[in-house]
Structure 1
Amino acid sequence: MVNAWIRTDETEDVAGSIRHALRMVPFLADDPQAWKWAMLALHSALQGACVCHLTTTAAPVGALTKQNTGEWLDFFERQRTDPAAQPPSKTHLLNLPDLLKAVCKAHSAGDRSNAAGVAISGAELAWLKRIHGEVRNQFIHFEPMGWSIEVSGVPDLARVIARILTEMLEIGWAFRHLGDQGRAALRRDLEELTALEWPMPGPEAA
């Protein structure tokens, strides 16, 4: 058997998550399970974009917990005089609510180029936190239970996420490694996500 590999990175993963959300839309009206994958793809794109935006040239510093940031900075300092220095055994990213708070700050981009933070209102922040804490976590760690999920707000959720990612794209730092064609493709996908008409399930799907 020939070993098969694919190669990706954090920016390609964000772009791929947006593409996957778009791919799910034609299935939504007839397959209730497709909503899970559309929503997880949107969540993945948002979280990944925040990481891309915050991470500095001293990757992965910028999107890490406070303790893990200290561990990585200590490693970089030791590495200057000790080539055998070992990096921290794990990378601990901030959770999505904390990532969102961080990107809202001025000069939050990894190169500190943005004079204003990414625009996310208090109501949007609360909504995105709820999606993360209740919907995403339940989908990822599905308990043995029946569950009714209101999906009528998902189109608005998609538009909010598309707007946030578009702002990060315009700031420039987060997706600098995608190249001109990759950034243009991501912009087109975000525009499509913004304008998309989402089919709603019929009453029999509830």
Structure 2
Amino acid sequence: MVENWIRTDEVEDVAGSIRHVIRAAQFAAEDPLAWKWVVIALDSALQGACVCHLTTTAAPIGAVTKRNASEWWTYLGGLRSNPNARQPKTELMGLPDLLKAVRKPGSAGNGSNSAGIAISDSELNWLLRFHKEIRNQFAHFGPAGWSIEVSGIPKIARLVARIIRDILEAGWAFRHQDCAAREEMQQSLHAVEMIKWPT
């Protein structure tokens, strides 16, 4: 058997999640269960963009919990005296905390965006409900039937695209991408905003 590998990173994961929103949306009219993949891909793209924005040059610090950041600082600080030190496990903040963090002034990993990423209180509450009540239900599907109203998902998709665009334009999160990759991400975000959703 020949092994097959793919290579990716947190930036490529965001770009791939955005593209998957577009692909899954194309099937939502003919297969209502495709909405699940729209929701999961939207959530994944948003979370990943926040992680990319917050992470400092001492990765993964910036996007991890406070306790985990302390563990990482201790580990990184002790490497010179103990090169065999055990690297801590990465414990990312959950999406609610990531969204609150990107709103703060200077939230970019290099502290450069003085205004923070604009997410109003009502938008934040809406995204938190989307994550908790819809995304989590789809991702951790229990043995139950349920009905879900999907009429608000196109508006959430546009909001997610706008937030990711703001993160992209802040300059830090996707700084290692070349111009062509950043332009492709801009085009994909525009495509998300222009999706003709099933009615």
1:77 and 2:83 are equivalent in the alignment: no
The equivalent residue for 2:36 is: 36
3-state DSSP of counterpart to 1:116 = coil
CA distance in 1, matches of 2:61, 2:178: 23
1:137 and 2:141 are equivalent in the alignment: no
Q: What is the one-letter code of the residue matched to 2:118? A: A
Q: How many residues align structurally? A: 199
The equivalent residue for 2:118 is: 119
Q: What is the one-letter code of the residue matched to 1:145? A: A
Please state how far the C-alpha of 1:6 moved relative to its aligned partner. 0.3
The equivalent residue for 2:92 is: 93
The equivalent residue for 1:54 is: 54
TM-score (norm 2): 0.98
The equivalent residue for 2:175 is: 176
The equivalent residue for 1:3 is: 3
Task: State the identity as a percent.
Answer: 59
TM-score (norm 1): 0.95
The equivalent residue for 1:25 is: 25
Please state how far the C-alpha of 1:178 moved relative to its aligned partner. 2.1
Gap runs ≥5 in structure 2: none
The equivalent residue for 1:68 is: 68
Please state how far the C-alpha of 1:85 moved relative to its aligned partner. 1.6
Q: What is the one-letter code of the residue matched to 1:62? A: G
- Between 1:51-60 and 1:191-200, the stretch displaced more is 191-200
Q: What is the one-letter code of the residue matched to 1:44? A: S
Please state how far the C-alpha of 1:75 moved relative to its aligned partner. 0.2
What's the CA shift string for 1:21-50, capped at 9, x where partnerless? 001122111101100001100000000000
Q: What is the one-letter code of the residue matched to 1:4? A: N
Runs of 4 or more, structure 1, over 4 Å off, are none
Please state how far the C-alpha of 1:3 moved relative to its aligned partner. 0.7
1:163 and 2:178 are equivalent in the alignment: no
- CA-atom RMSD in angstroms: 0.8
Gap runs ≥5 in structure 1: 201-206
Q: What is the one-letter code of the residue matched to 1:3? A: E
Q: What is the one-letter code of the residue matched to 1:154? A: I
What's the CA shift string for 1:52-86, capped at 9, x where partnerless? 00000000000011110100000011012222222
Please state how far the C-alpha of 1:165 moved relative to its aligned partner. 0.4
CA distance in 1, matches of 2:177, 2:40: 22
CA distance in 2, matches of 1:106, 1:80: 33
